Chains A and B, each alone.
Chain A
Amino acid sequence: MNPDKTIDLRGVSCPVNFVKTKLALEYLEEGQVLEVILDPGEPIINVPRSIREEGHLVLNIINNGDLCKLFIKKT
């Protein structure tokens, strides 16, 4: 998956990681894909849920213990 933008939010706690994801999406064009690197645990559970509530499309969640990534398509 080729993202248009990647942000690394490891070390950023909830809900600031969601706000930063949301801000990054606001400045993308519709249809573009954002890759977000998150910490395991709460962040990889909470951020996709909140992003879906915003109406964006969560394309993929990679949750391999240490490596947590989220791919979001702006709608």
Chain B
Amino acid sequence: MDFSDLQIERYSRNMILKEVGGKGQERLLNGRVLIIGAGGLGSPCALYLAAAGVGTIGIVDSDKVDLSNLQRQIIHFTKDIGKKKVISAKEKIEALNPDIRVNVHPLRMTSENIRETIKDYHFVVDGTDNFASKFLINDACYFEKKPFSHGGILRFYGQTITYVPGTTCLRCLFPAPPPLDQVPTCSQAGVLGVVAGILGTIQAAEAIKYLLGAGSLLVDRIQYIDIFDMNFQLIKVKRNDDCPLCGKHPKITELKDEVEILCDLRGGN
């Protein structure tokens, strides 16, 4: 690939790395990453991927920017309040790096549209804020054989794990979402903005390493972060033979939205 002088200067700190070089940069520029959710996790993730030169970034979000988002969703600015998040994110990415092509998907992911949406990307980042979406992304990526980064945050805490086909999936660890009344959402419990920043940045690192084919991905290991006591814990995990999705006798054999799956699982027991 022939890099322009501007590209060589822009990506010089990437290219200097032995593990990246010109060929790695080429892989990044040809890379396609889909970020589901342009919120706390998706904001830093999108900005770092754009800065690194990941050539195509897809953004999924059906919401508009709200004043209460700005405490942590750093891709959106005060002037963007009321604007669609996908548009606000696209504007920032393009301003940061005109090399990047941004695909906007102003949708809410459902079992009807997610497989079609993720199909054209190399890697998916879960930046959603609810369990139904997280399990839907997990299941869709399993069926489409698509690697993805799971991330979740609450208060001062976060967790993340990367899935590539054949490794531990989210349902191996958590067969189903917790009951709705048992776990508060960020809007009820609060979350410190930096937690989103750190976790979303870890997710961006995973996407970049996947595209480069370098380093070790966070597979079969779950990373917990506790920003309050500043404690990071890495826990080894294994595939679960009883996983309802990827186990020996899967109960989930087609993509469904979480409410339906819960009914099916309960009905089956």
A residues lining the B interface (CB < 8 Å): 15-16, 18-20, 22-23, 26-27, 50, 54
Contacts and interface: CB of A to CB of B under 8 A. Distances in A.
B174 interface: no
A23 B12 contact: no
A16 B21 contact: no
Given A23-B3, A26-B23, A54 B18 contact: yes
Interface string B1-43: 0010000110010011010011100000000000000000000
B8 A23 contact: yes
Nearest to B26: A26
A16 B9 contact: yes
26 contacts: A15-B12, A15-B16, A16-B8, A16-B9, A16-B12, A18-B16, A19-B8, A19-B12, A19-B15, A19-B16, A20-B8, A22-B15, A22-B16, A22-B21, A22-B22, A23-B3, A23-B8, A23-B15, A23-B21, A23-B22, A26-B21, A26-B22, A26-B23, A27-B22, A50-B16, A54-B18
A26 B12 CA distance: 15
A23 B12 CA distance: 10
5 tightest A-B CB contacts, nearest first: A23-B22, A19-B12, A26-B22, A19-B15, A19-B8
Nearest to A55: B18
Nearest to B14: A19
